[in-house]
């Protein structure tokens, strides 16, 4: 199966990057805050409207990292600061 990328939302971006890079062998390609522009453009990863549409929150902000395997698989890591994410309590984890 081929896919472009998948997104994982995390409350611990540094830990997630360390796992995918140091344990799984992926290369960190992007690590930045979004929105990174008011409107779409060639150097804008996610503009304000796109991010607000994705998170259904005015003023949405997120740290995004993209890691890529040698074979080209891409993992997009998101750590939203608005809306804030929280770690799932142990009794709700499956």
44 is a domain residue: yes
Asked whether residue 94 is domain-assigned, the answer is no
The Cα–Cα gap between 68 and 77 comes to 11
pTM of the full predicted structure?
0.84
Q: What is the pLDDT of residue 62?
A: 95
User: Which range among 7-21, 44-58, 64-78 shows the weakest confidence by mean pLDDT?
Assistant: 44-58
Which class for 34: exposed (0-12), middle (13-18), buried (19 or more C-beta within 10 A)? Answer: buried
Domain that holds residue 65: 5-87
Whether the Cβ atoms of residue 31 and residue 20 lie closer than 8 Å to each other = no
Structural domain contains residue 51: yes
Q: For the chain, give percent helix, strand, coil, nearest 5.
A: 25, 35, 45
The CATH number covering residue 64 comes to 3.10.180.10
Looking at the structure of the chain, the number of domains it has is 1
Would you say residue 3 has pLDDT above 80? no
The reply to whether 92 falls in a domain is no
| Residue 59 · residue 83 · CB < 8 Å | no
Mean pLDDT of 61-74: 94
What pLDDT, on the 0 to 100 scale, is given for residue 1? Answer: 59
Residue 45 lies in a domain: yes
39 occurs within a structural domain: yes
């Amino acid at each position: 199966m081929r896919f472009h990328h998948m997104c994982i939302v995390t409350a611990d971006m540094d830990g997630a990057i360390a796992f995918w890079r140091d344990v799984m062998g992926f290369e960190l390609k992007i690590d930045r805050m979004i929105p990174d522009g008011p409107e779409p453009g060639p150097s804008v990863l996610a503009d304000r409207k796109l991010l607000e549409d994705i998170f259904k929150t005015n003023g949405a902000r997120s740290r995004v990292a993209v890691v890529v395997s040698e074979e080209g698989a891409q993992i997009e890591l998101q750590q939203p600061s608005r809306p804030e994410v929280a770690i799932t309590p142990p009794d709700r984890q499956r």
